[in-house]
A and B are shown apart, each in its own frame.
Chain A
Amino acid sequence: MTKYEWEIMLKELQKVFSIVRLLNEEELRTGRIQGSTDMTEGCECYALWNKRTRCDNCISRAAFAEKDKKTKLEFIDGDIFQIVSRYIEIEGIPYVVELVNKLDGDILINEDGRDEMLKKLIRYDRELYMDALTGAYNRRYYEDQLKQTEMVAGVAMIDLDDFKLHNDTYGHNAGDLVLETVVNVIRNSIRRTDVLVRFGGDEFLLVMPDILEASFQKKLKQIQNEIHAAEVPGYSQLQVSVSIGGVLSTHGTIEDAIHKADQCMYQAKTSKNMVVTESDLQHETQNITNPSATHKYKILIVDDSEMNREILSSILGDEFDILEAADGKECISVIRKYGRDIALVLLDIVMPEMDGFEVLEFMNKHEWIDDIPVIMISSEDSAASVKKAYEMGVSDYINRPFDVEVVHRRVFNTIKLYAKQRRLIALITNQVYEKEKNNRILIEILSQIVEFRNGESGRHVLNVNIITGILLEQLTQITDKYNISWSDRLIITTAASLHDIGKIGINEKILNKAGRLTPQEIEKIKEHTVIGASILENMELFKDEELVKTAYQICRWHHERYDGRGYPDGLKGEEIPVSAQVVALADVYDALVSRRVYKKSYSHEEAMKMILGGECGAFNPVLLQCLTEAQDKIKESIVIKEENGISCRRNVMKKLRKYEDTKEHLMESITQDIQRECSEIEKDTAFYQ
């Protein structure tokens, strides 16, 4: 095409199109219109559209590159524009000619078609920004439309309590229903103009424009209460609750407000099912007379430079309780003192006495590193040191120089992550423990029945339990030979309660006979071992359970002797399972120190002498050592019926409680694996990095 031909064509085009632009390569590349080619002044190519940046969907550049024709529609201020970009060459030089037409509503399509199209466009928008499960807005909507918006609004973070646990316990279907239920409740409590966003997996953002502070607080409280009262369809046993943090944002972006709301929410999380607003926090900080009202997390700052400690504590001191240590040794002793009350350790590397790596080593050895997060704050930032620190379990690393904002975020995020994890552990521990408690109650009832028939008044089982526990504890300290884990100890102790269940099959008259037993009667009584074992063996459904297997061993073989002269099978030495060996010794000791219809009670010293002297059977020397070493503990732990009747019940209660505490400790160790899994999930879903 020649220049002349182009000029004729331009005139024709201008009759049809409202704007005709000829753009050369330079203009297309820079977006800067030079203004010499036609009627447009020098300006940016996008000035035409009242935009501030170039169009993402620039078709002219595409047309130029592909030497082709492209068409698009632009929807600006309610008007639709059609743009055609076409590649042309004028006297050998490449250009794109841009033709723009505004489309009037009536010329576009007929009324019906227009509505149809608008609906489609709106639905597209809706789908793009809607969370498929709950129908709330999705995270993308927040990122695109809300994040940078500045408005006066109530901004609340609503976080489901223990959602992961519901999900894991009742399945994903239940989890989905929980989310739907929560969204429905919130939806029913808010205005049409309010915006609800599913912010993370179990976290919602609520933005309530132009709301008064009092109404905002009332609304949040209402949402919290109604969610707590809500029933999840099909899962009536499931109680849902949320922790809500709210701020009234009067200036700044929604993103800024969320940061504050998040802090309030985490305050609410310390007790769950709760609303905390910014004004609550301010109120509480003012309320110095009652410091317990606010729970502050403890942070331990470990740095040999007082200066550095002070900088950090002035950055963090308002929101956290600060503990300080000047070197590794002090650090360890502070951790010993406060334990898991410490929410976070900020740790320097280069220090006198004991350096940061040694502290980490120590924390690993004592498994503190799993419970207490550590953030490195050293200026020792060579890649090797940082890598080593990460390998030793630190959660994060804060570079020097310190930046207030960065320190805040990192500290806050780490604490948040661990706080969630700790709550999960506590929850799981309680649940496992509850289950275990029911088991113990049933076993207790069963053994009480046996005791009742034996006329032993219930103390014997309890004592055998306690002594078995003590002997096992002692045994694991002396030797690894038997490879007894914590859970084995729990099982053996529990199963010990069942050692005499076989007596249910023995005639009461023989059992409770005051006088001397005939040889036949003695043989009869000996049968209780085999009877007990066969009861357990016949439990088809549970016979493979560890507890049942152990109880079988104990029932059958707790009258065997280490020298092979016991009954019913004459097992010898280590042929006898260790569980039965321990219970046998516990049984004999308690029988000696208790009064029975057929015998008086012996003193602890007499009993010890008789057992060690071999008068009451033959035992594993290692177990006798355990008995000797733990005798004081045993003596003060068990219950002996006093003549005055009241007995030392209080002492027993104390012992029992201690026993329960030990169990709790055990449960915790069992849940460690679950905890690790949970923390992995947590890390995967953490949005704040």
Chain B
Amino acid sequence: MTVRECYEKMGANYDGVLSRLGNEMLIRKFVIKFLKDPSFQDLTAAIEKSDAESAFRAAHTLKGICLNLGFDNLYKPSEALTEKLRGGELNGYETLYDEVKEQYDKTVEAINEIAE
């Protein structure tokens, strides 16, 4: 599977990221590295612990990474979740978190195919 196909599978725009980073090898390297990025796990753990501040930070980091890697599908819900958590309170985030989780799983699944 090519990196382009991987992006298509997760529902993201490959051309955008290619024009910015300019190098398929580099993109592949970072995309695979995303599997090891702890932001999503940090987010989940923080929510479980009702730690609103850490949850906000983790969502924020996740959003930033998605923006850089051009994971548009995951960027959108994580951005919305970040804004929801910005106030420092854990209220009404559930739907958004579920959306983030859904897109995260989808993204990871797509990446796994090129990582192998």
State the A residues within 8 Å of B (CB): 304-308, 310-311, 314-315, 348, 350-352, 378-380, 400-405
Name the A residues within 8 Å of B16 (CB-CB).
401
Q: How far is the CB of B69 from chain A (nearest CB, A)?
A: 8
Partner of B37, one of A305, A350, A404: A305
Q: Which of B1-50 contact A (CB under 8 A)?
A: 16-17, 19-23, 26, 29-30, 33-34, 37, 39
Partner of A350, one of B29, B33, B57, B65: B57
B68 contacts A by Cβ under 8 Å: yes
Contact in complex: A402, B61 (CB < 8 Å): no
Contact in complex: A403, B65 (CB < 8 Å): no
Partner of A401, one of B37, B54, B67: B67
Contact in complex: B20, A307 (CB < 8 Å): no
Q: How far is the CA of A348 from the CA of B67 in the complex (A)?
A: 14
Name the A residues within 8 Å of B54 (CB-CB).
352
Contact in complex: A308, B64 (CB < 8 Å): yes
13 contacts between A and B (CB under 8 A): A304-B57, A305-B61, A307-B30, A307-B37, A308-B68, A311-B30, A350-B61, A401-B17, A401-B20, A401-B70, A402-B21, A404-B21, A405-B22
Q: How far is the CB of A243 from chain B (nearest CB, A)?
A: 29
Contact in complex: B68, A400 (CB < 8 Å): yes
Contact in complex: A402, B20 (CB < 8 Å): yes
Partner of A305, one of B19, B23, B64, B70: B64
Name the B residues within 8 Å of A402 (CB-CB).
20-21, 68
Contact in complex: B67, A400 (CB < 8 Å): yes
- Interface flags for B72-84 (1: CB within 8 Å of A; 0: not) read 0000000000000
Q: How far is the CA of A482 from the CA of B68 in the complex (A)?
A: 56
Name the A residues within 8 Å of B19 (CB-CB).
403
Q: How far is the CB of B57 from chain A (nearest CB, A)?
A: 6
Contact in complex: B33, A310 (CB < 8 Å): yes
Additional pairs, 8, CB under 8 Å, beyond known A307-B37, A400-B68, A403-B21: A307-B33, A307-B65, A308-B65, A348-B64, A379-B60, A400-B64, A404-B20, A404-B23
Name the B residues within 8 Å of A404 (CB-CB).
20-23
Contact in complex: A305, B20 (CB < 8 Å): no
Name the B residues within 8 Å of A315 (CB-CB).
21
Q: How far is the CB of B71 from chain A (nearest CB, A)?
A: 10
- Whose C-beta in chain B lies nearest to the C-beta of A304? B61
Contact in complex: A352, B22 (CB < 8 Å): no
Question: Beyond A304-B57, A350-B60, is A403–B20 a contact (Cβ under 8 Å)?
Answer: yes
Kindly list the 9 A-B residue pairs having the minimum CB-CB distance in the complex, ordered from nearest. A379-B64, A403-B20, A400-B67, A401-B67, A305-B61, A350-B60, A401-B68, A307-B37, A307-B65
Q: How far is the CA of A292 from the CA of B21 in the complex (A)?
A: 30
Question: Beyond A310-B33, A311-B30, A401-B68, is A305–B39 a contact (Cβ under 8 Å)?
Answer: yes
Name the B residues within 8 Å of A310 (CB-CB).
30, 33
Q: How far is the CB of A110 from chain B (nearest CB, A)?
A: 60
SS class of chain A's interface: helix, strand, loop or mixed?
loop
Q: How far is the CB of B13 from chain A (nearest CB, A)?
A: 11
Name the B residues within 8 Å of A351 (CB-CB).
57
Contact in complex: B34, A379 (CB < 8 Å): no
Q: How far is the CB of B115 from chain A (nearest CB, A)?
A: 15
Name the A residues within 8 Å of B22 (CB-CB).
404-405
Q: How far is the CA of A304 from the CA of B54 in the complex (A)?
A: 12
Q: How far is the CB of A312 from chain B (nearest CB, A)?
A: 9
Name the B residues within 8 Å of A311 (CB-CB).
21, 30, 68
Name the A residues within 8 Å of B60 (CB-CB).
350, 379-380
Q: How far is the CA of A314 from the CA of B28 in the complex (A)?
A: 13
- Whose C-beta in chain A lies nearest to the C-beta of B79? A379
Q: How far is the CA of A310 from the CA of B33 in the complex (A)?
A: 10
Name the B residues within 8 Å of A401 (CB-CB).
16-17, 20, 67-70
Question: Beyond A307-B30, A311-B30, A401-B17, is A352–B65 a contact (Cβ under 8 Å)?
Answer: no
Q: How far is the CB of A167 from chain B (nearest CB, A)?
A: 41
Contact in complex: B20, A379 (CB < 8 Å): no
Name the A residues within 8 Å of B39 (CB-CB).
305
Q: How far is the CB of A623 from chain B (nearest CB, A)?
A: 52
- Whose C-beta in chain A lies nearest to the C-beta of B68? A401
Q: How far is the CB of B54 from chain A (nearest CB, A)?
A: 8
Q: How far is the CB of A324 from chain B (nearest CB, A)?
A: 15
Q: How far is the CA of A304 from the CA of B60 in the complex (A)?
A: 11
Q: How far is the CB of B85 from chain A (nearest CB, A)?
A: 11
Of residues A307, A310, A315, A348, which shows the largest number of chain B Cβ atoms within 10 Å of its Cβ? A307
Contact in complex: A379, B63 (CB < 8 Å): yes
Q: How far is the CB of A529 from chain B (nearest CB, A)?
A: 69
Q: How far is the CA of A352 from the CA of B61 in the complex (A)?
A: 11
Name the B residues within 8 Å of A306 (CB-CB).
37
- Whose C-beta in chain A lies nearest to the C-beta of B16? A401
Contact in complex: A352, B30 (CB < 8 Å): no
Name the A residues within 8 Å of B29 (CB-CB).
314
Q: How far is the CA of A350 from the CA of B37 in the complex (A)?
A: 17
- Whose C-beta in chain B lies nearest to the C-beta of A402? B68
Contact in complex: B64, A314 (CB < 8 Å): no
Name the A residues within 8 Å of B37 (CB-CB).
305-307
Q: How far is the CA of A352 from the CA of B54 in the complex (A)?
A: 8
Of residues B16, B26, B30, B68, which shows the largest number of chain A Cβ atoms within 10 Å of its Cβ? B68
Q: How far is the CB of B72 from chain A (nearest CB, A)?
A: 10
Q: How far is the CA of A379 from the CA of B62 in the complex (A)?
A: 10
Of residues A310, A378, A401, A405, which shows the largest number of chain B Cβ atoms within 10 Å of its Cβ? A401
Name the A residues within 8 Å of B68 (CB-CB).
307-308, 311, 400-402
- Whose C-beta in chain A lies nearest to the C-beta of B34? A307
Q: How far is the CA of A182 from the CA of B70 in the complex (A)?
A: 49
Contact in complex: A305, B33 (CB < 8 Å): no
Q: How far is the CA of A305 from the CA of B70 in the complex (A)?
A: 16
Q: How far is the CB of A359 from chain B (nearest CB, A)?
A: 16
- Whose C-beta in chain B lies nearest to the C-beta of A312? B68
Q: How far is the CB of B26 from chain A (nearest CB, A)?
A: 6
- Whose C-beta in chain A lies nearest to the C-beta of B75? A401
